[in-house]
Chains A and B, each alone.
Chain A
Amino acid sequence: MSRTEDERPASDPGKRTADAELAVARMTEMSVDMRGCAVLGGDGEELASSGGSGWARAGAAFLEAADSAQGEPAVQVHVATEDGEAFAVREGELAMVAVAERFTLASLILFDMRTVLRDLASGNGVPDRRAPVQEDP
């Protein structure tokens, strides 16, 4: 008997990828200045991305540069350049990297990234936080 999406265990690679895709979709929807983002797994592999290509390599290099800047693992990175702003957030073995328009409100982007990634890392899926939970009458 086949299992539905919600019944699969959190360790199931298929569910993990589906959750990562949901996380990317939610992130893209929430942040209007977002140009693209991706979720990377523990080995630096790309679990999901909003488009573009080469996220795994570029994201891993970005995290590597941040880690080696002071010789310790970074939990959050923000680099603002003339062409746009690059962000990275780590949660457990997962990482989310994102690129936004210049002069975006960085604190909001980082807050959204942290929230989505924390939900994803918990293994309980990515809840829809856009509206209050509707109680059954």
Chain B
Amino acid sequence: MSPKPHRILIERVSGYADEAGAYLRRRRATRQPFARVFYAGDRSAAFEPGTEEGRALFLAASRMIDAADR
């Protein structure tokens, strides 16, 4: 006997939800701090925390986070 149509739909939706949950878990586990700046003309540049520019960006970001939490 074939499963009822609504059951197929529910299984499919819960399959997608499982995939989305797994993606978010992987993202949390692997994501490192980063700084990215976007410029006119769809250009962008990433700055590592070890560089002078990266340090300045991370410091400024920390101050802004402090301003939000104050």
Contact = CB atoms under 8 A, between A and B. Distances in A.
A77 B36 contact: yes
B31 A58 contact: no
B63 A61 contact: yes
Contacts of A83: 62, 65
Given A65-B56, A103-B31, A58 B64 contact: yes
Contact of B33 (A37, A76, A81): A81
Contact of A59 (B39, B62, B64): B64
Interface in A45-80: 51-55, 57-59, 61-62, 64-66, 68-70, 72-80
Interface string B24-46: 10011001011111111000010
Main secondary structure of the interface of B (DSSP, over half): helix
Contact of B37 (A35, A53, A57, A77): A77
Tier of interface size on chain A: 35 or more
B13 interface: no
Interface of B: 24, 27-28, 31, 33-40, 45, 47, 53, 56-70
Contacts of B60: 58, 61-62, 64-66, 79, 86
Secondary structure type dominating chain A contacts: mixed
Nearest to A88: B64
A103 B28 CA distance: 7
Contacts of B61: 62, 79, 81, 86
Contacts of A77: 35-38, 57
